[in-house]
Structure 1
């Protein structure tokens, strides 16, 4: 249950933010802090096991990672809490709401994974939006294919912002991450369970996200009777860094509903 953590100085109710796969709590703060600014919430940013500055202190399975986060919540915050996450972090947040609904007051799921196995995802087949020549020049060559599929807002400035987030924080444990992502237990065992979470939920997706798509996320809204679904044009898998102003607007709406 020992996870590296950063917290804001506010004394309001906690919002716990979980990172994208392979990224750190510093990257999560860069994604969500502008959207949460001025809310008075106590922002808590965690490094998952084998990510950032947290050692690989559990087996390389998503269930073990989820259990570790739940154990941390049990011991460090008054629950239920607001949970926010991007991509894999959002996948885990939704899993926590299924398995431990007593821990969760509301969910902010940004570009969430729904079916974690790559060949099971319903991805858009539209051609990517236009981009200026050389827009990927600042990125390492080995990341070009990933960023080409991931980004909807395709500019050098967005690429620089995403690269800074990727390189922020501790180094993580590459071996653990590889074992987790390629192992037989990358998917949570209850991934397809028909469980309803009745707290306020906001699901925000990118129209050009060719990493996890947006269709599976819409179909998953049947699990959230108090859920709002938003699909943002000119945004992909790194939506918080591509469209920060829109993310703040949608986050403020979600927070208004959590207070209702």
Structure 2
């Protein structure tokens, strides 16, 4: 599907019907990063409408000249939400850069957000200021890497903490396609203006609805320690830091990811049911 947000034709996909869930992928991949890890959760859950968009310069949404920064990206996401679910309440799930954008959405639309899940979120925009663990590979598979296209092997091994067939196949299907079609020139422009020009965590009041912050112990892209500092702003957030998991923790620790996300959805359902009785 396509939604014109001012001059940007935003590509998005919708699954299911019911209470809206907005899902925002990370920097360079596309919506497939999110559908791959989230859709299995809804196989036996009805009543949720999942909305996956491609950010500008990624997937099927083109970058345009007027979008020059993360501030501009956030404005586009806010306008997209206003167009596809005008005035409705919704859940928000963001991965990496999508987590950074999601915190901006919470700041601007907290009265509409009934739950927040952050997957390996980028907390500090400037990589030089992040607290990062050293690059670590816990399970190596030289034969697997040797069987791959060299460029693909390099992409996979740069992020994989556990190099096995399962993790490779999900990386190949969910992440690599977006990396291959990303508009690198446009994204480099955004990278130069990656930080918000405002304090995204200066919420007028703490976000009291159910939240989840899911991180990888070996994530050398965004780390996990910076995310811990978000908890004061989210008093009903569960925080998980998982071993044997890097920046693709949702894949490398898929069983725990499924369990924690399911528990978050259960808390959201309970919260929604309670609020409807008031």
Q: What is the CA distance between 1:146 and its match in structure 2?
A: 5.7
- Aligned partners of 1:122 and 1:23: how far apart in 2? 23
Q: Which has the higher contact order (CA 8 A, sep 6+)?
A: 1
Q: What is the CA distance between 1:159 and its match in structure 2?
A: 2.2
Q: What is the CA distance between 1:248 and its match in structure 2?
A: 1.4
Report the 3-state secondary structure (helix = DSSP H, G, I; strand = E; otherwise coil) of the residue aligned with 2:10.
coil
- Aligned partners of 2:43 and 2:129: how far apart in 1? 36
The residue aligned with 1:190 is 198
- Aligned partners of 1:147 and 1:83: how far apart in 2? 28
- Aligned partners of 1:172 and 1:124: how far apart in 2? 27
Q: What is the CA distance between 1:102 and its match in structure 2?
A: 2.6
- Aligned partners of 1:209 and 1:144: how far apart in 2? 19
Tell me if 1:34 matches 2:44: no
Identify which range, 215-224 or 94-103, moves more after superposition.
94-103
Cα distance change of structure 1 residues 126 and 118 upon mapping to structure 2, 3 Å threshold: closer
Cα deviation code 1:140-194 (max 9, x no counterpart): 545666644532322233123213223336823221112111x1x2111234643
Tell me if 1:82 matches 2:91: yes
Cα deviation code 1:213-245 (max 9, x no counterpart): 111111221111111101112111112222222
C-alpha RMSD of the superposition? 2.2
Tell me if 1:7 matches 2:14: yes
* Cα contact 1:136–1:156 (8 A) shared by 2: no
* Cα contact 1:73–1:79 (8 A) shared by 2: no
* Cα contact 2:20–2:89 (8 A) shared by 1: no
| Aligned partner of 2:75 among 60, 67, 70 | 67
Runs ≥4 in structure 1, deviation > 6 angstroms?
Answer: none
The residue aligned with 1:125 is 134
**TM, length-normalised to structure 1:** 0.90
Larger Rg: 2
